[in-house]
């Protein structure tokens, strides 16, 4: 049985699937954060752990191809990271090439079978990418939490903590009370100390609290996040094809997604399972599928 591997790795988790040549998903695995820009070689090991779990009941020698969509893929210019990937694939027993590409490509492929368009991702981080021939030909933002990722889950959680700290009252209410409870803080000083001890990615865990609140602060923050995401997409210019929304903030029924959808005039699709999208790309390329066959396989794997 011929198999392919598909990987979706971001700042929160790494997910892998194994699929047959007919498009059936026959294995899944997951592990920790897989963005090598923020996690270094540990991200490579997490991706390997996810793939190993997906391959548990299968012969790695049956794998004829693979695609890994990875946030922070530009770090592959670092010889140490590139070598770590080579070592990881070898340790898994994979003798076929595994193409490593940006997570925007696999997210886009999980939403539509089209070859060109744009992806807007808002998960832990945020980026917009122009896609042409399943290649990234331009990006906006994706600069990391310190310089950008505006409108992302990390950005949203961090803005909530900042706003609560600046307007702290002795008896926080609404979103402020939820943020304080999450931090275990009973004073502004305790909130400040808690924030200082967190890894930046930890602030993304507050995004669901913000999205679930109808507090005026939450409403303002989610509207601001959506506006920033739309502005990021606009930086790319008019997309030549559909826009695929990806990442938890834009695939779940959040107020951020609702506001982004209301602002866009282009055809919009939603990313479904980027790891399966990566596997579809691997099948399309490895088996040299014609467009009609590839579109049928896409419906089978990602409908």
Does residue 47 come out as left (phi exceeding 0), alpha (psi in the -120 to 50 range) or beta?
A: alpha
136 assigned to some structural domain: no
The CATH number of the domain holding residue 228 is 3.30.420.40
pLDDT at site 48: 95
Which H or E run contains 66? Answer: strand 63-70
Q: Count the domains in the chain.
A: 2
68 sits in the region (left: phi over 0; alpha: psi -120 to 50; else beta) called beta
pTM > 0.95:
no
* Residue 56 included in any domain: yes
pLDDT, tens digit, 9 for 90 and up, residues 15-41: 999 999 999 999 999 999 998 888 889
Spell out, as residue ranges, where the chain has pLDDT lower than 70: none
At residue 72, the pLDDT reads: 76
Instruction: Give Cα separations from 135 to 29, 235, 300 (angstroms).
Output: 26, 18, 23
pLDDT of the residue at 37: 83
Residue 125 lies in a domain: no
Indicate if 251 and 283 belong to the same structural domain.
no
Tokens coding 83? 């070598």
97 domain-assigned: yes
List, as one string, the DSSP characters of 121-160: EESSSEEEEEEESSSEEEEEE---TTT--TTSHHHHHHHH
Q: What pLDDT was estimated at residue 303?
A: 83
Are 151 and 221 members of one domain? yes
Is residue 132 a part of any domain in this protein? no
Q: Do residues 19 and 101 share a domain?
A: yes
The pLDDT of residue 73 is 79
CB atoms within 10 A of CB 166: 8
The 10s digit of each residue's pLDDT in 196-228 is 999 898 999 999 999 999 999 999 999 999 999
Q: Return the pLDDT at 100.
A: 92
Q: Is residue 121 part of a domain?
A: no
Nearest Cα to Cα of residue 134 among 212, 29, 244:
244
**Cα→Cα distances 70→102, 163, 171, 212, 218, Å:** 5, 32, 43, 29, 30
In a domain, 206, yes or no: yes
Task: Say if residue 284 is in the same domain as residue 214.
Answer: no
Number of CB atoms found within 10 A of residue 214's CB: 9
Residues 18, 97, single domain; the answer is: yes
In a domain, 129, yes or no: no
- The β-bridge partners of 268 are 243
Q: Tell the burial category of 202 from Cβ atoms under 10 Å away from its Cβ (0-12, 13-18, 19+).
A: middle
Could you tell me the residue range of the domain that residue 47 belongs to? 3-114+271-302
Judge if 100 and 170 occupy the same domain: no
Q: What is the pLDDT of residues 61-88, one digit of tens each?
A: 999 999 999 987 788 888 999 999 999 9
Distance CA 201, CA 205 (A): 8
């Amino acid at each position: 049985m011929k198999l392919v591997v598909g990987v979706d790795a971001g700042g929160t988790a790494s997910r892998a699937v194994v699929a047959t040549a007919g498009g059936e998903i026959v294995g899944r695995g997951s592990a920790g954060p897989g963005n090598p820009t923020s996690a270094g070689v540990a991200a490579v090991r997490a991706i390997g752990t996810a793939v190993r779990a997906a391959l548990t009941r299968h012969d790695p020698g049956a794998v004829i191809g693979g695609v890994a969509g990875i946030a922070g893929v530009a770090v592959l210019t670092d010889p140490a990271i590139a070598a770590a990937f080579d070592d990881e694939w070898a340790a898994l027993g994979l003798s076929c090439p595994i193409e490593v590409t940006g997570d925007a490509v696999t997210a886009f492929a999980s939403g539509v079978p089209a070859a060109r368009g744009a992806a807007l991702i808002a998960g832990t981080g945020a980026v917009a990418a122009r896609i042409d021939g399943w290649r990234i030909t331009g990006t906006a933002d994706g600069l990391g939490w310190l310089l950008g990722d505006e409108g992302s889950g990390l950005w949203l959680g961090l803005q909530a903590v900042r706003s609560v700290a600046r307007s702290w009252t002795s008896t926080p209410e609404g979103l402020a009370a939820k943020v304080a409870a999450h931090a275990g803080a009973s004073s502004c000083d305790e909130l400040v100390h808690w924030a200082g001890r967190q890894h930046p990615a930890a602030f993304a865990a507050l995004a669901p609290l913000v999205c679930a609140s109808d507090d005026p602060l939450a409403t303002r923050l989610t509207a601001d996040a959506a506006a920033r995401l739309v502005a990021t997409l606009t930086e790319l210019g008019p997309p030549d094809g559909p826009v695929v929304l990806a990442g938890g903030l834009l695939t779940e029924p959040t107020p951020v997604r609702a506001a982004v959808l209301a602002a866009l005039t282009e055809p919009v699709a939603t990313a479904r399972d980027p790891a399966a999208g990566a596997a579809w790309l691997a099948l399309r390329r490895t088996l040299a599928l014609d467009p009609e066959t590839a579109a049928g396989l896409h419906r089978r794997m990602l409908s």
